[in-house]
Amino acid sequence: MADIFLRDADWIITVDPQRRILTDGAIAIEGDRIVAIGKTKDLEPQYSSARRVISARGRVVLPGLIDCHIHTAFQLARGLADEVSAQKFLFERMYPYEGLLTEEENYWSGKLCVLELLRNGVTTFIDSGNYFPDQTARVVGETGVRCVVAKSAMDIAKSPFGALPERFLETTEQALERAEEVVQKLNGCHGGRVRAWFQFRGIPNSSDQLVTRLKELADRYHTGVQTHACFAKETVEACKTSFGVTEIERLERLGALGPNVLLVHSGWVSPHEVEFVRAHNCKIVAAPSSSLHNAYGDLLMGKIPEFLEMGLAVGLGSDHASSGIVDLVQEMFLVAGAYKEVRLNTSVMPPERVVEMATINGARCALWENEIGSLEAGKKADVTLFNTRMPQWQPLYNPVSNLVYSATGASVDTVICDGKILMEGRQLQTMDEEEIYRQVARLIPGILQKTKLEEKIKPKWPIF
């Protein structure tokens, strides 16, 4: 007997290999897997006696969305780093903030982050790396979502890009040892919902030894390795000053590119770096809202349309709350709209491509495409339902168009991950939302005090 029979969906956007869109669609779920998908009338005879029957009338159904780059540790930093350069954003605001966070603060930051991701339809995320990956995994275990965790690694205390806070300082050996411990301990935990990868956080602050050995470890453990790459003019220049080459060129020379390498941002790339990325079949993540918030120039300089044209896996990431939006639905419009604008070309980012970025391409980036990223029999049951009984979805001629150009995560109605209902009719099933807000309110005065940012971030207009 099926556990869940989702029926009468107005539209199911499957993102399967044929990219089928079903009307009057249905999905049958047993345990953590989809066992059947098709027309309601065809599946009804076999599955209408499922333990749970859910009407998806008035709903558009998608694979659970995949956020390929999010700093769970930055969730308590929304508003702490507005109107600053890329260099100041990291070295004067975010790194000092993150360096001061306690284990408990990391836990609640992760919890608030997952709350926002889930409410906006995300079932899988790649945490960009932090210093408490245990806490990220704990949050994922408790909430029922799926993720990739990584321990951050950097071993050059001072680069032309900036100096690291004390909390981040590690020798190469310490960084390697701790990163390997995290993969050994967390990879595959929580019923396989957590996977653990390696990460070097920034190319200018990572030594040749660190980069090459983390890539070797990722190969040995059959897992991935991720890094921020070419996200601002300053990082490219810092890399040239220290190492004589640009960032991706440096990775190529070190033998550190490959299909298990996830390059985040990759905006400031030269034509020969584009060729390296293609030749090594690297994975790429576009993070439009953070580039727009921080003026990184990734959309102006970026080659996302070209990478997509090459057939590379290009995913989408919301990056962090400290640049505002943590809503992959809005990121879809931002990446489409920004490239149309800067290229003066309305067809450079078709909405179908953008939906692929948030689903199947995200799964490819997470090295998880055999199980997630599309709605197909045999795949994991990760499903997001949008409520079309909202102005942003009306009128509805083409659900792909509405999804990319007008919807926000606020229209996500129901979320299923690994066959479990995590949100139904916007009611969260595994999280106590009010408790999270209480804990955040309790923690933020201490964060303001220790980061000493109160004066810098207060409203510019008089407060009465």
The tokens describing 410, both together, are 């606020």
Asked if the peptide bond before residue 351 counts as cis, ω within 30 degrees of 0, the response is no
Q: Are 204 and 233 in contact (CB under 8 A)?
A: no
Q: Are 395 and 159 in contact (CB under 8 A)?
A: no
Q: What angle do CA 192, 198, 203 make, to 5 degrees?
A: 150
Q: How far is the CB of 315 from Zn ion (least distance, A)?
A: 13
**Other beta carbons within 10 Å of 309:** 11
Q: Which amino acid is at 250?
A: R
Integer Rg of the chain from CA: 21
The tokens describing 270, both together, are 């030269």
Q: How far is the CB of 217 from Zn ion (least distance, A)?
A: 21
Q: How far is the CB of 128 from Zn ion (least distance, A)?
A: 4
Q: How far is the CB of 127 from Zn ion (least distance, A)?
A: 10
In the complex with Zn ion, the residue whose CB is nearer, 63 or 317, is 317
Q: How far is the CB of 263 from Zn ion (least distance, A)?
A: 12
In the complex with Zn ion, the residue whose CB is nearer, 319 or 371, is 319
In the complex with Zn ion, the residue whose CB is nearer, 62 or 150, is 150
H-assigned helices in 89-131: 95-100, 103-119
Q: How far is the CB of 70 from Zn ion (least distance, A)?
A: 8
- What interhelical angle do 351-358 and 328-343 show, nearest 10? 140
Q: How far is the CB of 129 from Zn ion (least distance, A)?
A: 8
In the complex with Zn ion, the residue whose CB is nearer, 94 or 354, is 94
Tokens 């995949």 -> residue: 66
In the complex with Zn ion, the residue whose CB is nearer, 3 or 319, is 319
Q: Which residues bind Zn ion (CB under 5 A)?
A: 128, 319
Q: How far is the CB of 14 from Zn ion (least distance, A)?
A: 30
As a whole number of angstroms, the distance between CA 24 and CA 28 comes to 14
In the complex with Zn ion, the residue whose CB is nearer, 94 or 412, is 94
**Other beta carbons within 10 Å of 48:** 14
CA torsion 20→24→25→28, rounded to 10°? Answer: -170
The DSSP H or E segment spanning 35 is: strand 33-39
In the complex with Zn ion, the residue whose CB is nearer, 72 or 374, is 72
Q: How far is the CB of 231 from Zn ion (least distance, A)?
A: 8
In the complex with Zn ion, the residue whose CB is nearer, 90 or 372, is 90
Pairing of strands 146-150, 158-159: unpaired
**Other beta carbons within 10 Å of 454:** 10
Q: Are 283 and 311 in contact (CB under 8 A)?
A: no
Give 292's contacts (C-beta < 8 A, 6+ positions apart).
299, 323, 334, 338
In the complex with Zn ion, the residue whose CB is nearer, 128 or 143, is 128
